[in-house]
Amino acid sequence: MPSTFLYGANVAANGIRQHYLRYGGASGARAARAAVIVIPGITSPAITWGFVGEVFGAAFDTYVIDVRGRGLSEASDTLDYSLDAQADDIVALAAVLGLERYALVGHSMGARIAARAALRASRGLASVVLVDPPVSGPGRREYPGKLPWYVDSMALARKGTDAEGMRAFCPTWTDDELRLRAEWLHTCDERAVLASYEGFHTDDFHADAAQLKVPSLLVTAARGDVVRDEDVAELQRATPAMQHVRVPDAGHMIPWDNAAGFYAAFGSLLGAPLVVEATENAVA
């Protein structure tokens, strides 16, 4: 499949520098469809979702973002890393980019950001896709991913490491995936990650998801313990119109484990199917 990557860019939005990678553009059939903003997870710079951006870019004007404190977006010891700030970033970015209609596709932490952003978007939001969101929160079970996994791997990356250094943390990943993580993990600000991880247990994702007013899709992994069947049932009781697809043969990092199943899960929700001729995986 020919590359759909166009460029990377920075904009000033919501009072900070936000960096994104653009795929596809607004030409041809894409011009009639809502743009797509992809929001990665807690330690996933935009570039690690580039292989997903390539596929989305074939059908949609696609923007893969660096969440504040990750990748090339702004980070500092005074920056607000709360879920509210992250959600406001998305709404402000869409406005600065002049997107008249757009969909949000968020993975893990990015799904929680997407759900909160949907409550703050006054115009233009067409749909929301929540990919394996942490359902932890006040009075709920803890998020199954443990904090030392993030902190220790980031510390190693800041010192300088390679694929072999990352292998202890991600033993099933390919050499290419490990190399990319080793190259980019140091750009994840520990303060941002700690704040987001704490938010997994203090922010009420279920309350946000229950207030979605646009078409929504929940995509979950068949393996792992992030979203259980009872969680799906609760979310769909609160939002009966929410569609759900459980992707087989996949853990939390769904597009890495089962790319075909991940893309097929979207169906026609976004306005066109995601067609995969050939993909090359990176890593998150």
The tens-digit pLDDT sequence of the chain (284 residues) is 799 999 999 999 999 999 999 999 999 999 999 999 999 999 999 999 999 999 999 999 999 999 999 999 999 999 999 999 999 999 999 999 999 999 999 999 999 999 999 999 989 999 999 999 999 999 999 999 999 999 999 999 999 999 999 999 998 888 999 999 999 999 999 999 999 999 999 999 999 999 999 999 999 999 989 999 999 999 999 999 999 999 999 999 999 999 999 999 999 999 999 988 744 444 34
Amino acid 282: pLDDT: 41
Domain-embedded: residue 242: yes
Domain-embedded: residue 126: yes
Amino acid 280: pLDDT: 45
DSSP character string of 237-264: HHSTT-EEEEETT--SSHHHH-HHHHHH
Number of domains in the chain: 1
Taking residue 119's Cβ as centre, other Cβ atoms within 10 Å add up to 15
Domain-embedded: residue 27: yes
Domain-embedded: residue 154: no
Amino acid 86: pLDDT: 98
**Exposed (0-12), middle (13-18) or buried (19+): which is 275, by Cβ within 10 Å?**
exposed
Q: Cα separation of 68 and 82, whole Å? A: 10
Q: Go through the chain and tell me how many residues it has.
A: 284
Amino acid 284: pLDDT: 40
Domain-embedded: residue 166: no
Domain-embedded: residue 168: no
Q: Cα separation of 153 and 170, whole Å? A: 10
Domain-embedded: residue 135: yes
Q: Cα separation of 30 and 132, whole Å? A: 27
Q: How far is CA 22 from the centre of its chain?
A: 15
Which residues on neighbouring strands pair with residue 160, listed in sequence order? Answer: none
Domain-embedded: residue 76: yes
Q: What is the CATH number of the domain that holds 125?
A: 3.40.50.1820
Q: Cα separation of 140 and 136, whole Å? A: 5
Domain that holds residue 248: 5-148+202-265
Q: Cα separation of 90 and 124, whole Å? A: 12
